[in-house]
Amino acid sequence: MSASTSSQPLVHPAGNARLLWTVLATVVLLGVLTYLVAFDQGAVSRSGMYLHELMHDGRHLLGVPCH
């Protein structure tokens, strides 16, 4: 019996599901972080522009116009 006739799959299906959820969670997290750094204009933080000012230099570093 050669190795090519094995009935075992090369990748376990549970591994594919875990990889899918990991990639999905990473994309969502990066999307939220991108929103907070680039587009939030005080809507998230209750103290007004605190988050905007905290991320201000990062916005300019990334080339995101903010004022």
Residue 53 domain flag: yes
- pLDDT of amino acid 40: 67
Residue 31 domain flag: yes
- Between the two ends of the chain, the Cα-to-Cα distance in Å is 70
| Model pLDDT for residues 13-23, shown as the tens digit of each residue | 667 888 899 99
- pLDDT of amino acid 41: 67
Residue 17 domain flag: no
- pLDDT of amino acid 43: 66
Residue 10 domain flag: no
Residue 14 domain flag: no
pLDDT confidence of 6, banded at 50, 70, 90?
Answer: low
- Domain of 53? 26-67
| Model pLDDT for residues 38-61, shown as the tens digit of each residue | 776 666 666 667 777 777 777 788
The two structure tokens encoding residue 10: 């090369």
Residue 50 domain flag: yes
Helix (H, G, I), strand (E, B) or coil at 10: coil
